[in-house]
Amino acid sequence: MWRYAPWLPLKVGESPVSLGEGLTPLIEAPALARAAGVRRLRIKDESRNPTGSFKARGMSAAITRARGDGVPGLVVPTAGNAGAAIAAYAAAAGLPVRVFAPRTTPRPILETIDALGAHLERVDGHIGDAGKLAAAFAAESGWWPVATLREPYRVEGMKTMGFELAEQCGWSLPDVVVYPTGGGEGTVGIWKAINELVADGWLPPDTKQPRYVVAQAVGCAPLVRAFAAGADRAEPWVDPVTYASGLRVPGPFGDRVLLRILRETNGVAASVDEDTMREATRRLSAATGIDAAPEGGCALAVLEGLVRDGTVSPDADVVVFNTGVGASYRP
């Protein structure tokens, strides 16, 4: 992803902390397009990143700055994949890291965090509870907190998904982008990238942003509820439940900007239940050869629902993000 270095937080003379993240394939999925009832459907397969999720992009950018700026250590609350990614990049940078993750995080992810040499704290509760403990530890240790959208650099790494999308689509954008959204960093990153490409002349000034679709699980859908109510903030979701751990984020810090992106792009937020998600994940994998995460299946199932109810046109050219690898969720 560092081929886009002029748009990333890298100072002159610095080298990035990189493990080969980014430049993931955009895979044509004609069988899924037919089944969903859209003209064209492609999967942006983020499972190919180091530690198996798009979180690698944000952590590569953030840990590059952390090392460059001489921070003593790193601390992060995570629903899972961000912990594995920060463990990898901290190891690559030679920095100590403490990860706070819910006890209920899929075991392969917790084992990856541990295997990469991070100090792992298993937390009772959800990512919000982990966030409180992480903030307290950061305050007492002086280590740098790297929580979603609460520091400036992770989202900069996430922008590279938007740069790649534009480049891989031949500098013309799809009509609809479906992103399984928890904290919102992925969605905000793509949107920010498209704005920057227009501002810098890589896309024409009259470029329209794609319609963004925020896909969530019915057991944790704060953005869907806020969008349906026409609110500009999301109230925290009580008792968040979903096996798609990346979506188990009851109080997304980026709620206001996400809801604004949905309004400004004629986007929408929608959710599906666990059985629908599980079934769509299997279909996504079996139809494409991608070992999809449940979050990717969630995005596919949400798209299918939106075509059925007429929100997305059968003529649409759609990109669905598969944000992680299915293997991380199999005990």
Ligand X SMILES: *Cc1c(COP(=O)(O)O)cnc(C)c1O
Piece of the chain touching ligand X by CB under 6 A; list 87-95, 159-167, 182-190, 204-212? 182-190
- Please, which contacts does 13-16 make with residues 24 or more away whose CB atoms are closer than 8 Å? 14/64, 14/68, 16/60, 16/61, 16/64
Under a CB-based contact definition with an 8 Å cutoff, are residues 75 and 140 in contact? no
Q: Least distance from C-beta 52 to ligand X, angstroms?
A: 8
Q: Least distance from C-beta 324 to ligand X, angstroms?
A: 3
* C-beta of 75 vs 277, nearer to ligand X: 277
113 binds ligand X (CB under 6 A): no
As separate numbers, helices (DSSP H) first and strands (DSSP E) second, the chain gives 11, 10
183 binds ligand X (CB under 6 A): yes
51 binds ligand X (CB under 6 A): no
CA distance 227 to 274: 21
Restricting to residues 265-294, which ones interact with ligand X according to CB under 6 A?
A: 293
- Three-state DSSP at 256 gives helix
* C-beta of 148 vs 160, nearer to ligand X: 148
Q: Least distance from C-beta 70 to ligand X, angstroms?
A: 27
In the block, which residue shows the tokens 């002349």? 201
182 binds ligand X (CB under 6 A): yes
181 binds ligand X (CB under 6 A): yes
CB contact set of 181 (below 8 Å; sequence gap of 6+): 187, 214, 215, 216, 223, 247, 252, 258, 269
57 binds ligand X (CB under 6 A): no
Q: Which residues bind ligand X (CB under 6 A)?
A: 53, 55, 81, 148, 180-187, 246, 293, 295, 323-324
